[in-house]
Amino acid sequence: MSTGPKTLVADIERLPGRFSAKRRGLTVSGDFWSLSDHKHLIGRISPDEVTEWPSTICIAWRFIGKKRVEFASVWDNVADAEYRMLERFWVATNEADIVVGHNFKAFDMKHLRTAWRDHGFDPPAEPAIVDTLSVARSEFGDESRQLVALTKRLGISTKTDKYSVAVARAAVAGDRKAQQKLRAYNAGDVEASEALYLALRPWMKNHPSIGLYSEDGVDQCSCGSREFGKNGFAYTKLSKFQRYYCRGCGATFRGKRALASADLRRVA
C-alpha cells in the first residue's frame, strides 16, 4: 500500500557548445552557453557559426529513501550512450510523483525536455516539481541562494567541488579520472539537493499535498509524519480554524473545517 509520494532528487551536468565565426577578416572561436554570450565583443553568434551545441552529458538521481545514487552519462560503455542516458532518466521521471532539484524547473527540466524532443521521445508524464531555488527566492532573504551557500549556511551535506569545463570536456573525450571526478560532483549535487529539500520542506507553502498520495486516507505532513499537535487557532475575516503543528518537522498548518463563521448579512 502506498503511504506517500515517490520523490526523486535529480541533477544534470552540461557541456558548453563551440562556435567558429569570422569577424573583420579574423576567425574567432570558443565556448558558449547562449548565442548572446559574446555579443559585446563579436555580436550575436549565428546558428550557422555553431560547430557544437551545448549538451547534457550526465545525469544523477535518487529516490528519497534509497541509498544508491543512480548515474548515466554519454561516456557509458553502452550502444548509443546519450540516448540510453536520456531514456533511463525518462523512465525515472515517469515513476516519480515529485521531482526535486535546485533550479530544476527553469534549468534542468527545460534542457531535459529539449534533449528528449531532439531524440524523439514522447513527453513524460511529468510529476510535480519542487525547486529549492524558487523556495529560497520566495521565502527567505539569503544573500546568496546558490546550493553550496545555502547548504553551508544550514550546516548540512554540501557540494565538495566546483564545475570545470575543462574537466567536463576531458570526461567526454574519454579521460577516466575526469569521468570519475564529474560523476562524484554530479552525485554530490544530488546529496546536497536532497539535504536542502529536507531542511526547507517545513517552510514550503506550496508543497504538493502528501495526503493525495496516501491510499489509506490518513492525513500526512509534507515530511511524511502523521503525528500532529494542536497549536491554537487561525483566523480569516469570516472564519476560525484549528491550527496544528507537525511533531515530525515542526511545520504548521490549519485544519480544513471552519470551527466558527461570522454571520454577516447585507443591510439594504
Average pLDDT, the chain: 88
The pTM (predicted TM-score) of the whole model is 0.81
Number of Cβ within 10 Å of residue 29's Cβ equals 11
Question: What residues form DSSP beta bridges with 229?
Answer: 245
Kindly give, in sequence order, each residue whose CB lies less than 8 Å from that of residue 159, ignoring residues fewer than 6 positions away: 147, 148, 151, 185, 188, 189, 192
| β-strand pairing of 50-52 with 26-32 | unpaired
pLDDT of amino acid 4: 72
Contacts 24+ apart (CB under 8 A), 231-239: 233/259, 237/262, 238/262, 238/264
Please state, in angstroms and rounded to a whole number, the distance separating the CA atoms of residues 143 and 129. Answer: 24
Angle among Cα 120, 109, 55 to the nearest 5 degrees reads: 65
CA 62 to chain CA centroid, Å, is: 12
Q: How confident is the model at residue 1 (pLDDT cuts 50, 70, 90)?
A: very low
30: phi then psi, degrees, rounded to nearest 5: 165, -170
Q: How confident is the model at residue 101 (pLDDT cuts 50, 70, 90)?
A: very high
User: Which CATH entry fits the domain spanning 7-16+54-203: 3.40.50.2020, 3.90.1170.50, 3.90.1150.10, 3.30.420.10?
Assistant: 3.30.420.10
Please state, in angstroms and rounded to a whole number, the distance separating the CA atoms of residues 103 and 80. Answer: 28
Would the pLDDT of 93 be above 50? yes
Residues 203-239: pLDDT tens digits? 998 888 766 555 555 556 666 666 777 777 776 767 7
Phi-psi region of 183 (alpha: psi -120 to 50; beta: other; left: phi over 0): alpha
Residues 245-259: pLDDT tens digits? 777 666 666 666 677
Q: Are 201 and 90 in contact (CB under 8 A)?
A: no
Residue ranges covered by each domain of the chain: 7-16+54-203, 225-268
Q: Minimum mean pLDDT among 119-123, 133-137, 168-172, 248-252: which range?
A: 248-252
Please state, in angstroms and rounded to a whole number, the distance separating the CA atoms of residues 199 and 219. Answer: 21
**The three cell numbers locating residue 237:** 475575516
Would the pLDDT of 144 be above 50? yes
